[in-house]
Structure 1
């Protein structure tokens, strides 16, 4: 039996409560021991005057003061020189042993001389029935596994004796072994110290046991062992310390020849674990992971000391530890048994009922309506008209236009691309052989996709099947959406399709990282398709952050904050370029081809906006009324949607008024944005005419609010037995909604369809064929205007493509120096026919000159300009007259054409770095959004509907 036991007690005032309180409790517990300690040394690390007074009157043989940053291992090393007993008892300010703890530990130590370390059963001071630690082991990969961590103490582990290691708190160690092992390893960052000590003791030929009947209660201050995970800061510290200890032990325990290999794998492993943390919806662990990797990689001196300690004391083989490691089968059994014991008592999410509830039938019906309304789309290979144009013919060019570099239009060598171009690249990739065909498929599938999105968004508001169907129908029949379909506006179409998914995921972004990751990705899509919605989206984001802070405090705020970060990062290069160009308002410009046609800024246009139509004429109703119902006011069809607005406003009078108010906020933001958009012009058409922002996407946001508020009214605003009234109201709203957009659905039969069977290229087939073999050659497109002036465009390779457009070019208020010089060379060539200007054009990459054939009548001034230009070009011996083509009259430069440098060559290192950063943020969002078993289990434990629930009826 050890003659003397020397206790080492470390105090540091960084616990949950003042260190003095815990120190008093620990000293009191020591005084009540049935087997009294023989000596006590206290190490005070940065203690207060009160702590020093308590230590000074404790009867300790010595009180050592040290800095507040001194670790538990370093503090014990300071006191080791004062050891006078046969055994050392390792204590901290928050370790309160039971009265018989030391007696039982000493009794276990005297059983055999081979036993060098005895650890107690560590329990929680807040709940002594909860085991904090009772022995530790390792997996074959080196991860620490607690044998009984966080289990209720029912005596089920009281038979445990031999272990690989244990929690360091309350551990009793033979003094001779403690000195031989050189104490604890301070490179472990406070984690796994007892495990490492046990492993080194066993390698030195000793036994490590636990005494389950010796109980020590700990408060988790973090002075010894890991702090309790009761705050976000402490959870990060635990993650950092645990991972640092694991990596350090891996390097310290490895054979000498394997250490360089382990060191080289630190970065790849850290990257892989980062991905796994994101997939597991634990982004808070990413920074601790990288911090631990960097710390473990750049401490050669600490690693050398650790390996030296093991080498000096080791007498047994590493294989002797194998029996005490946990096997893979046992580990798998523990993982499978690990679950949430309270999961069964938590609310379970109701079934989605997409098929049984009629959602699938609504989507199928929408597809039938789409084919019936636009049958010509089934035969068209590409789309044209409106803001539509072909996509690049190859995936490489499609993605080149989505990145920083040269574009298919303009003279700029390298400019940031619109994020919308990346969306088009994703869509075009779905049809790699013919990217433009993907847009045709999108147009055909638009109505069913809208119905699908509307149905799922409605599941956040109501669990009634009939109301979900109503939302799907109304979202697919939204006037602004059908106008985008008929007029050929791909950006507005994509924004309308993505918006319900943003509301679906964003409404529960505070619940989980999976929802926040999904919402952040959809936010990028909506923002990229409709930059003019950015102010409204930012306002919604601010309101969501504030409401989360007020309603939930800290939890969930980080998820909501994240939802906007990918969109901001994706737009940063374009924002920087617009600010440098002096056109910051250009960030609001609609992406794609700039075309006019939105509602006017007068009273009639405002009325159209209030009625939900982004164009004048109420979507064709005014024309129909004037032609067939002359006695009816032209504004009368706007009243068709008035009942829907009345039902939506009534949501403020229901028990779920808060949800209704949130929906009406969308209406206010959407209508306000639309009203401002029709009066703001930041982009210019090809002839220099200013074009107002398209208000359609803002009206989609307002329409979402109206539909959502109407669902709240019908879900919670009617008595339980008013099912018939609800059904009648739903039927009326569907009929009126269909009637409001009937002219739009009949656009093809009325001859009002703006989209056409588009060309494969905007340049003649001759140019398209030649540039496929000799790429990076431009065509100067000279368009005579009605005033007699000319408009000059420069298109590369196969012509202007939808993905090659740039809002940076469309919003310029003044021409660049290169553009002015280029225009002067073209004018000189057209006016004089001289060779010198043409040679300069050829050296800039121009291989063709095209005077296009324009639809409609030609003014005398335009005809005179066209004939004069054609005559001058025909007289130039350096030009070959290709002839009249369906696209216009074409000339080819005979020689001296210097192709433009490849787009990749113009990309700077900074642009590459920015692109990598953008891609990394998007990948992080994608990894967060990927569902896992844990995220699905969490989702099943929360209701699908957001906000107060409606009363149950006899559905």
Structure 2
């Protein structure tokens, strides 16, 4: 029979838990045992006067003091020298056994001599109907699986006896087995100690048994076992200990032949598990994963000692453990909660088809085809700020990387983040990337309607209001103006904004939403850098609300939202700040093109506040032939009035936040209209205020929907449909000039050329991006604009703000100016040789802007004469793009980027950030189940406090 029982009680006060209180409770529980312990040794890890006083007053044969960092395994090893009895009972300060616990544990050892140790049923100290642990097993790959962890105790597991291992707290171990096995493995870092002891006991020919009738209440804040996840730091510590223990056991149990391969696979496995953790929406475990891998990689001595301990005691084969492992099928059955796993679902059906969303998109398709009928036959779209795309997808992505730019004599530097957006869009049709822009223009209105409808689902459950939101967003004046004028960055930004709202509104809830919002945030900022300050302000507001209303839960997800955008913009920000040109960071990407827009005066700001980015509101001035248009802004008044009412409704928090969004957008538009930081040849180009107006339109529309959703009493609910109809009619009337502009010939859109350069150059540069063309354009005000284009054409993705926003001439600019002046001057004899030395193979004398002035015509004729007289230039002929000459002297290859290593590191960092965001954005079954437990509408005062 077991005979004497020697209890080892380990106490570690850490300043965060009431160790003295728990110690008193555990000592009282020991005194109340129906079968009292025969000897008690207390190990106090650390210094605490109260704990020391309580321990000194206990009926212990000795009290041992150890350093504060001593772990449970080390403490039990110290106390083992004083063990005098046939069995050892392992306890911590937070383990309070029931009065019958020890008697039932000793009975289990007495009845089964083959049992090495008996394990009690651990229950929560504050709720003894919840099982903390009752047996532990592993998967085939060594993952620890609790057999009943967290379950409601109904006696469903009381029939189980044989197990592979158990939680170390409260186990009663035969002294003989304890000494033979060498106690607990100190290298396990405080996790899986009972499991490892059970595995080694099984290999030694003994058994491990459960005693469900022996109850031990645990608080989860002691030195043994996993701690309660009461803080982020505690969760990370628990995860690190668990993963370190798992990797250590894997190496300690491995076959000698497999051991070196497992050791070499530690870091590659960590990289793979990083991806798995991101897909599983557990990015917080990535740090512990790498830390545990590093520890296992260098702790060769500890692994050798663990393997030696197993060899010394082993008498059975590893195959005998297989029946006690959990199979993958059993694990799936345990994790699959079935239809009841959703708990109380708070999210209804989306009702996209039954609620009219599909009909809205279909109507938008019809409207788009009617508005732009000619686009269906165009292979390339031109006009305004539009240009063709590269003909090869690889070149699209090359334009998005740091390195030599497609414009400029020898310009090396970061690409605009918008180039990455262009690369993504062009990659959707690899055979003809430029055709994607045509498709985008035709699909823009239905895509906007779809995005607006989904954004409205975060505001209301009512189908009529969702339809109103989608239609109003698709017919927003700023969006239609961008379509008619040919502004691709503004169009894409408007299409992305509602999806950013859709994902960003719930980014605090899940990593899926945060990952999607981070990609959308990066896309919006890439297309409209002027929105960055406003979006950052809104991000800070979201952080404040999350901290205030959710006690900080979800802050990590919100912090991630801005990281991909920061990674994509960092090289450009660093470059512009280094040269002292911070204002250039708000410049619109793409083709620098002024186009029609409001003046930065009181009248212009009034139009911006009404939602119109151009001086002709909605195009009605041209539509009516110059008739008064003072009444046009009144058509947007219903949305503004409803948005102002939103903060007065029951959902006032949502109303206030949406008004802040609208105010941020208006402030951005006001500032943008007065800022010109880029140039097109000799003309200054102001920042497009329409991006700010789009953001303001989003906030105002959301506020209007909140007001209509919750601002009407039930007895006047009929007014909701009437108000929604009024808004739709007003916006429909407002959009008439823009939707008919193509039919009236009042649009800037044209059938675009496949190349902005002559066909001869386009053919040469189609497959060779290093073909250089010097383009000389006479200016009507006098002088000439010179630029170097590399490849077969200027392209949308090849544009760069580091060239279009320069405030001072660089050394390359001065060299290009001198070279251009020499070429059009007959007396400069080596100009062509100098051009060839810079990699320039063609010279194009482009026509001046219509109408051509006398100064421009005079310069063109004299320049053409000078170029014709050069022996080193071969006249190709006059083309629709201008007069072209080919350089006949040997042409030097274009210089490569000065630091290719930098290019690779920048690309790696940016791709890593985007890859992480993509992995986080991938939905999982668990994420979908969690989403079903939260309402789709955000901000209902009676549904949620978030």
TM-score with structure 1 length normalisation?
A: 0.96
Shift, 1:114, TM fit: 2.0
Aligned to 1:616: 615
Q: Distance in 2 between matches of 1:711 and 1:489?
A: 28
Structure 1 residues 671 and 327 mapped into 2: Cα distance closer, same or farther (>3 Å)? closer
Residues 771, 792 of structure 2: 8 Å contact kept: no
Q: Give the 3-state SS of the residue equivalent to 1:43 in structure 2.
A: strand
Aligned to 1:383: 381
Aligned to 2:101: 101
| More displaced 10-residue stretch of structure 1: 384-393 or 409-418 | 409-418
Shift, 1:347, TM fit: 4.2
Q: Distance in 1 between matches of 2:610 and 2:151?
A: 62
Shift, 1:12, TM fit: 0.2
Q: Distance in 1 between matches of 2:152 and 2:481?
A: 64
Instruction: Give deviations 1:453-478, integer Å, cap 9, x for gaps.
Output: 11111111111111111111111110
Shift, 1:263, TM fit: 1.4
Shift, 1:44, TM fit: 0.9
Residues 530, 590 of structure 1: 8 Å contact kept: yes
Shift, 1:611, TM fit: 2.3
Aligned: 1:913 with 2:892 = no
| More displaced 10-residue stretch of structure 1: 435-444 or 119-128 | 119-128
Shift, 1:774, TM fit: 5.0
| More displaced 10-residue stretch of structure 1: 330-339 or 642-651 | 330-339
Q: Distance in 1 between matches of 2:681 and 2:3?
A: 97
**Structure 2: segments with no counterpart, 5+ residues:** none
Shift, 1:899, TM fit: 2.4
Q: Distance in 2 between matches of 1:39 and 1:723?
A: 77
Q: Distance in 1 between matches of 2:255 and 2:758?
A: 70
Q: Distance in 2 between matches of 1:844 and 1:340?
A: 71
Aligned to 2:536: 538
Residues 98, 216 of structure 2: 8 Å contact kept: yes
Shift, 1:608, TM fit: 2.0
Aligned to 1:506: 504
Residues 47, 68 of structure 2: 8 Å contact kept: yes
| More displaced 10-residue stretch of structure 1: 838-847 or 122-131 | 122-131
Residues 419, 570 of structure 1: 8 Å contact kept: yes
Aligned to 2:792: 798
Instruction: Give the paired residue count.
Output: 942
Structure 1 residues 69 and 227 mapped into 2: Cα distance closer, same or farther (>3 Å)? same
Q: Distance in 2 between matches of 1:576 and 1:319?
A: 60
Aligned pair partner of 1:846 in 828, 840, 848: 840
Shift, 1:226, TM fit: 0.9
User: Following superposition of structure 1 onto structure 2, how do residues 488-527 of structure 1 map, counting pairs within 5 Å?
Assistant: 488-527=486-525
Aligned: 1:656 with 2:654 = no
Aligned to 2:453: 455
Q: Distance in 2 between matches of 1:57 and 1:855?
A: 98
| More displaced 10-residue stretch of structure 1: 104-113 or 540-549 | 104-113
Q: Distance in 1 between matches of 2:605 and 2:661?
A: 18
Shift, 1:612, TM fit: 1.2
Aligned to 1:668: 663
Residues 607, 613 of structure 2: 8 Å contact kept: yes
Q: Give the 3-state SS of the residue equivalent to 1:519 in structure 2.
A: helix
Residues 389, 758 of structure 1: 8 Å contact kept: yes
Q: Distance in 1 between matches of 2:611 and 2:942?
A: 28
User: Following superposition of structure 1 onto structure 2, how do residues 35-114 of structure 1 map, counting pairs within 5 Å?
Assistant: 35-114=35-114
Aligned pair partner of 1:934 in 926, 930, 933: 926
Shift, 1:833, TM fit: 5.2
User: Following superposition of structure 1 onto structure 2, how do residues 6-25 of structure 1 map, counting pairs within 5 Å?
Assistant: 6-14=6-14, 17-25=17-25
Shift, 1:925, TM fit: 1.2
Aligned pair partner of 2:705 in 697, 705, 711: 711
Q: Give the 3-state SS of the residue equivalent to 2:319 in structure 1.
A: helix
Shift, 1:834, TM fit: 3.6
Residues 492, 697 of structure 1: 8 Å contact kept: yes
Q: Distance in 2 between matches of 1:908 and 1:744?
A: 47
Q: Distance in 1 between matches of 2:623 and 2:540?
A: 44
Instruction: Give deviations 1:895-940, integer Å, cap 9, x for gaps.
Output: 21112145xx655323322221221111111111111111111111
Aligned to 2:632: 637
Shift, 1:79, TM fit: 1.5
Q: Distance in 2 between matches of 1:653 and 1:217?
A: 52
Q: Give the 3-state SS of the residue equivalent to 1:939 in structure 2.
A: helix
Shift, 1:38, TM fit: 1.9
Aligned to 1:579: 577
Aligned: 1:556 with 2:554 = yes
**Structure 1: segments with no counterpart, 5+ residues:** none
User: Following superposition of structure 1 onto structure 2, how do residues 770-785 of structure 1 map, counting pairs within 5 Å?
Assistant: 770-772=764-766, 775-785=769-779
Aligned to 1:826: 820
Aligned to 2:415: 417
Q: Distance in 1 between matches of 2:160 and 2:599?
A: 82
Q: Distance in 2 between matches of 1:786 and 1:6?
A: 101
Q: Give the 3-state SS of the residue equivalent to 1:676 in structure 2.
A: helix
Aligned to 2:603: 604
Q: Give the 3-state SS of the residue equivalent to 1:152 in structure 2.
A: coil
Aligned to 1:788: 782
Shift, 1:176, TM fit: 2.1
Residues 677, 693 of structure 1: 8 Å contact kept: yes
Shift, 1:404, TM fit: 1.0
Q: Distance in 1 between matches of 2:115 and 2:469?
A: 72
User: Following superposition of structure 1 onto structure 2, how do residues 736-885 of structure 1 map, counting pairs within 5 Å?
Assistant: 736-772=730-766, 775-832=769-826, 834-885=828-879
Shift, 1:16, TM fit: 5.4
Q: Give the 3-state SS of the residue equivalent to 1:151 in structure 2.
A: coil
Q: Distance in 1 between matches of 2:23 and 2:214?
A: 20
Shift, 1:708, TM fit: 1.3
| More displaced 10-residue stretch of structure 1: 191-200 or 723-732 | 723-732
Structure 1 residues 139 and 571 mapped into 2: Cα distance closer, same or farther (>3 Å)? same
Q: Give the 3-state SS of the residue equivalent to 1:116 in structure 2.
A: strand
Structure 1 residues 338 and 724 mapped into 2: Cα distance closer, same or farther (>3 Å)? closer
Aligned to 2:567: 569
Aligned to 2:254: 254
Residues 247, 296 of structure 2: 8 Å contact kept: yes
Shift, 1:286, TM fit: 1.6
Structure 1 residues 256 and 285 mapped into 2: Cα distance closer, same or farther (>3 Å)? same
Residues 93, 222 of structure 2: 8 Å contact kept: no
Instruction: Give deviations 1:642-683, integer Å, cap 9, x for gaps.
Output: 233223222233222322222221221111111111111111
Q: Distance in 2 between matches of 1:472 and 1:775?
A: 42
Instruction: Give deviations 1:43-73, integer Å, cap 9, x for gaps.
Output: 1111301111221221322221111111111
Shift, 1:300, TM fit: 0.6
| More displaced 10-residue stretch of structure 1: 670-679 or 221-230 | 221-230
Q: Distance in 2 between matches of 1:53 and 1:662?
A: 56
Residues 409, 787 of structure 2: 8 Å contact kept: no
Aligned to 1:116: 116
Quote the RMSD (CA, aligned, Å).
Answer: 1.7
Shift, 1:792, TM fit: 0.4
Residues 833, 876 of structure 1: 8 Å contact kept: no
User: Following superposition of structure 1 onto structure 2, how do residues 141-540 of structure 1 map, counting pairs within 5 Å?
Assistant: 141-337=141-337, 343-344=342-343, 346-540=344-538
Q: Distance in 1 between matches of 2:347 and 2:846?
A: 61
Q: Distance in 1 between matches of 2:87 and 2:717?
A: 79
Q: Distance in 1 between matches of 2:386 and 2:772?
A: 21
Q: Distance in 2 between matches of 1:522 and 1:571?
A: 14
Q: Give the 3-state SS of the residue equivalent to 2:824 in structure 1.
A: helix
Residues 771, 791 of structure 2: 8 Å contact kept: yes
Residues 11, 222 of structure 2: 8 Å contact kept: no
Shift, 1:447, TM fit: 0.4
| More displaced 10-residue stretch of structure 1: 497-506 or 75-84 | 75-84
| More displaced 10-residue stretch of structure 1: 669-678 or 266-275 | 266-275
| More displaced 10-residue stretch of structure 1: 801-810 or 267-276 | 267-276
Structure 1 residues 339 and 305 mapped into 2: Cα distance closer, same or farther (>3 Å)? farther
Aligned pair partner of 2:719 in 718, 721, 725: 725
Residues 11, 44 of structure 1: 8 Å contact kept: yes
Instruction: Give deviations 1:145-182, integer Å, cap 9, x for gaps.
Output: 22221222222222222211111111111222212211
Q: Give the 3-state SS of the residue equivalent to 1:68 in structure 2.
A: coil
